[in-house]
C-alpha cells in the first residue's frame, strides 16, 4: 500500500497494478484492508493469479514436510486467501482483469471462469479471460508464460490499460495468435533466460525455509 500511495502522490494520477501468480493475490490483500488506497487505483491486472489459492499447491505442502510461508498462503482455502476475499472480492472504481490459461500447471483449477484466478463478487468492473478464449489452439501458455512472455496475455493487459474498464477480449486482434512472444522479449536470449528462471524457481521451492503451518494472520483482518 505504501507504493500505491507514493506513486499516486508523486504522479498525481491513479495507479495501475499488475501481478503474476501470488503477485496477483498480494495487492488485493492491500486493497481489502487499506481502503484509503482504493480511490488511488485505476486498473488491476492479474496473470495466473492465485486469487483463491490452488489445489495443486496443497500437494506441495505435505504436513510432514511443510513448505514456505508464501506457498502456504497459496494453498486452496488458505487463511490468507480467505481473508483477501472476505466480504467482497472487488471494489467500486477499480477495473479488474484476470488473465489465466487452461494449461496452467501450477494454478488449478483453471478450466473456465469458475477457476481460482477469477473474481466474481463486489462492485468492481471485472473481466475473467483465458488465453484460449482469444486463441483456442494455444496449448503452450503455461504458468510462467502467462506472466512473462505470452503475447496474448500482453495484448489483453494493454487493452485493459489503454481503455476505460477491464480488458475486452473482442478488441484483441486474433493476429496475436501467430506470435511467439510479447514485445520486448529477446528471441535469441529467450531459451537461456527461461531456463534460468525455471532453475531459480525450482531452487526456491526446494531450498526455502519450511514451516509446518500457514503463518497466523494479523489481528486487524478480524476487525470486520
CA dihedral 119, 121, 127, 133 (to 10 degrees): 60
Name the CATH code of domain 2-222 (choices 4.10.1240.10, 3.20.20.370, 3.40.50.1980, 3.40.50.1820).
Answer: 3.40.50.1820
Task: Give me the residue label for grid cell 476487525.
Answer: 223
Strand ranges in 2-72 using DSSP code E only, listed in sequence order? 15-20, 41-47
Q: Is 12 exposed, middle or buried (0-12, 13-18, 19+ CB in 10 A)?
A: exposed
> How is residue 167 written as a grid cell?
480488458
User: Can you give the pTM of this predicted structure?
Assistant: 0.94
pLDDT at 208: 86
> What does the pLDDT read at residue 224?
65
Alpha helices, H only, 125-186? 131-134, 143-148, 151-162
Cell of 75: 494453498
How do the pLDDT tens digits run along the chain, 224 residues long? 899 999 999 999 999 999 999 999 999 999 999 999 999 999 999 999 999 999 999 998 888 889 999 999 999 999 999 999 999 999 999 999 999 999 999 999 999 999 999 999 999 999 999 999 999 999 999 999 999 999 999 999 999 999 999 999 999 999 999 999 999 999 999 999 999 998 998 888 778 889 999 999 999 998 76
41-47 and 15-20 beta bridge pairing: parallel
Amino acid at each position: 500500500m505504501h507504493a500505491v500511495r507514493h506513486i499516486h502522490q508523486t504522479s498525481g494520477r491513479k495507479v495501475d497494478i499488475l501481478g503474476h501468480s501470488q503477485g496477483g493475490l498480494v495487492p488485493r490483500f492491500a486493497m481489502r484492508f487499506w481502503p484509503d488506497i482504493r480511490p488511488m487505483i485505476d486498473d488491476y491486472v492479474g496473470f495466473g493469479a492465485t486469487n483463491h489459492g490452488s489445489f495443486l499447491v496443497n500437494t506441495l505442502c505435505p504436513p510432514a514436510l511443510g513448505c514456505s510461508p508464501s506457498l502456504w498462503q497459496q494453498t486452496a482455502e488458505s487463511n490468507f486467501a480467505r481473508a483477501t476475499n472476505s466480504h467482497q472480492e472487488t471494489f467500486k472504481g477499480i477495473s479488474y482483469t484476470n488473465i489465466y490459461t487452461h494449461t496452467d500447471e501450477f494454478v488449478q483449477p483453471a478450466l473456465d471462469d469458475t477457476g481460482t484466478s477469477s473474481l466474481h463478487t463486489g462492485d468492481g468492473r471485472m473481466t475473467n479471460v483465458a488465453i484460449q478464449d482469444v486463441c483456442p489452439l494455444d496449448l503452450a501458455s503455461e504458468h510462467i508464460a502467462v506472466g512473462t512472455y505470452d503475447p496474448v496475455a500482453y495484448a489483453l493487459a494493454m487493452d485493459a490499460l489503454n481503455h476505460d474498464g477491464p480488458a475486452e477480449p473482442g478488441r484483441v486482434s486474433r493476429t496475436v495468435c501467430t506470435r511467439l512472444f510479447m514485445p520486448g522479449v529477446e528471441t535469441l536470449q529467450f531459451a537461456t533466460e527461461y531456463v534460468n528462471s525455471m532453475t531459480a524457481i525450482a531452487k526456491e521451492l526446494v531450498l526455502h525455509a519450511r514451516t509446518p503451518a500457514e503463518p497466523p494472520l494479523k489481528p486487524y483482518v478480524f476487525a470486520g
